[in-house]
Amino acid sequence: MDFDANLPQHLERHLAAFLTEAGADIRAGEPAFGSGVDALTRFVLGGGKRLRPTFAWWAWRGAGGDPGGPDTEGVLRAVASLELVQACALIHDDLIDSSDSRRGRPTVHVSHAREHRAHGWLGAPETFGMAAAVLLGDLALAWADDMFAGAPLPPATLAAAHPAWRAMRTEVLAGQYLDVRTQAVGDTTPEAALRVCRLKTAAYTVQRPLHLGAALAGADEARIAALHEFGSDLGVAFQLRDDLLGVFGDPSVTGKPAGDDLREGKRTLLVALGLQMAEDPEQRKLIADAIGADLAQDEVDTVRRTLTEVGAVDAVEVQITALTSTALTALERAHLAEPAAARLAGLAETATQRVF
Q: Using alpha carbons only, how large is the chain's radius of gyration in Å?
A: 21
Contact 303, 224 (CB under 8 A): no
Q: Which of 157, 170, 302, 319 binds a copy of itself (CB under 8 A)?
A: 170
Rule CB under 8 A: is residue 200 a binding residue for a copy of itself?
no
The amino acid at residue 260 is D
| Least distance (Å) between residue 121 CB and a copy of itself | 4
Closest to 59 in 3D by CA, of 226, 262, 179, 252: 226
Site string for a copy of itself, 36-75 (x = CB under 8 A): x---------------------------------------
Rule CB under 8 A: is residue 26 a binding residue for a copy of itself?
yes
Rule CB under 8 A: is residue 166 a binding residue for a copy of itself?
yes
Cβ-defined contacts of 275-278 (< 8 Å, 24+): 275/188, 276/189, 276/190, 277/310, 277/311, 277/312, 277/315, 278/306, 278/310
| Least distance (Å) between residue 96 CB and a copy of itself | 4
Contact 174, 24 (CB under 8 A): no
**Residue 23 and residue 41: Cα distance in Å, rounded?**
10
Cα distances from 85 to residues 59, 74, 353, in angstroms, run 19, 18, 26
Q: Which of 16, 106, 126, 134 binds a copy of itself (CB under 8 A)?
A: 134
Rule CB under 8 A: is residue 288 a binding residue for a copy of itself?
no
Q: Residue 101: helix, strand or coil by DSSP?
A: strand
Rule CB under 8 A: is residue 195 a binding residue for a copy of itself?
yes
**Residue 293 and residue 264: Cα distance in Å, rounded?**
8
Nearer to a copy of itself among residue 167 and residue 293 (C-beta): 167
Rule CB under 8 A: is residue 130 a binding residue for a copy of itself?
yes
- Helix 269-277 vs helix 312-333: angle between axes, to the nearest 10 degrees? 130
| Least distance (Å) between residue 127 CB and a copy of itself | 8
Backbone φ/ψ region at 258: left (φ over 0), alpha (ψ -120 to 50), beta? beta
Q: Which of 4, 30, 100, 349 binds a copy of itself (CB under 8 A)?
A: 30
Rule CB under 8 A: is residue 183 a binding residue for a copy of itself?
yes
Q: How many helices (H) and strands (E) does the chain have?
A: 19, 2
Task: Candidates 27-35, 75-83, 271-279, 335-343: pick the segment binding a copy of itself (CB under 8 A).
Answer: 27-35
| Least distance (Å) between residue 2 CB and a copy of itself | 32
| Least distance (Å) between residue 7 CB and a copy of itself | 26
**Residue 64 and residue 224: Cα distance in Å, rounded?**
13
Rule CB under 8 A: is residue 293 a binding residue for a copy of itself?
no
Rule CB under 8 A: is residue 169 a binding residue for a copy of itself?
yes
Rule CB under 8 A: is residue 118 a binding residue for a copy of itself?
no
**Residue 263 and residue 234: Cα distance in Å, rounded?**
26
Nearer to a copy of itself among residue 125 and residue 274 (C-beta): 125
Contact 164, 239 (CB under 8 A): no
Rule CB under 8 A: is residue 164 a binding residue for a copy of itself?
no
Q: How many residues does the chain have?
A: 356
| Least distance (Å) between residue 304 CB and a copy of itself | 24
Nearer to a copy of itself among residue 5 and residue 184 (C-beta): 184
| Least distance (Å) between residue 188 CB and a copy of itself | 10
Closest to 4 in 3D by CA, of 82, 48, 45, 62: 62
Q: Which of 10, 52, 61, 92 binds a copy of itself (CB under 8 A)?
A: 92
Residues lying near a copy of itself in the complex (CB under 8 A) are found at 22-23, 25-26, 30, 32-33, 35-36, 88, 92, 95-96, 98, 116, 119, 121-123, 127-128, 130-132, 134-139, 141-143, 145-146, 149-150, 155, 159, 162, 166-167, 169-171, 173-174, 176-178, 180-186, 195, 199
